[in-house]
A and B are shown apart, each in its own frame.
Chain A
Amino acid sequence: AQSVAQPEDQVNVAEGNPLTVKCTYSVSGNPYLFWYVQYPNRGLQFLLKYITGDNLVKGSYGFEAEFNKSQTSFHLKKPSALVSDSALYFCAVRDMRVTTSGTYKYIFGTGTRLKVLA
Chain B
Amino acid sequence: DTEVTQTPKHLVMGMTNKKSLKCEQHMGHRAMYWYKQKAKKPPELMFVYSYEKLSINESVPSRFSPECPNSSLLNLHLHALQPEDSALYLCASSQDSGNTIYFGEGSWLTVV
- Asked if residues B43 and A104 are in contact (CB atoms below 8 Å), the reply is no
Which residues 56-112 of B sit at the A interface, judged by CB distance below 8 A? 56, 90, 92, 97-98, 100-106, 108
Number of A-B contacts (CB under 8 A): 60
- The number of chain A residues with a CB under 8 A from chain B is 25
Contacts of B45 in A (CB 8 A): 105-106
| A111 adjacent to B100 (CB under 8 Å) | no
Known: A101-B56, A103-B31, A103-B55. A46 touches B98 (CB 8 A): no
Nearest CB of A to B87, in Å: 13
Contacting residues of chain A (85-110) with chain B, CB-CB under 8 angstroms: 88, 90, 94, 99, 101-106, 108-110
- Place the interface of chain B in its size category: 20 to 34
Expressed in whole angstroms, the Cα–Cα distance for A66 and B93 within the complex equals: 26
A residues lining the B interface (CB < 8 Å) = 32, 34, 36, 41-46, 49, 88, 90, 94, 99, 101-106, 108-111, 113
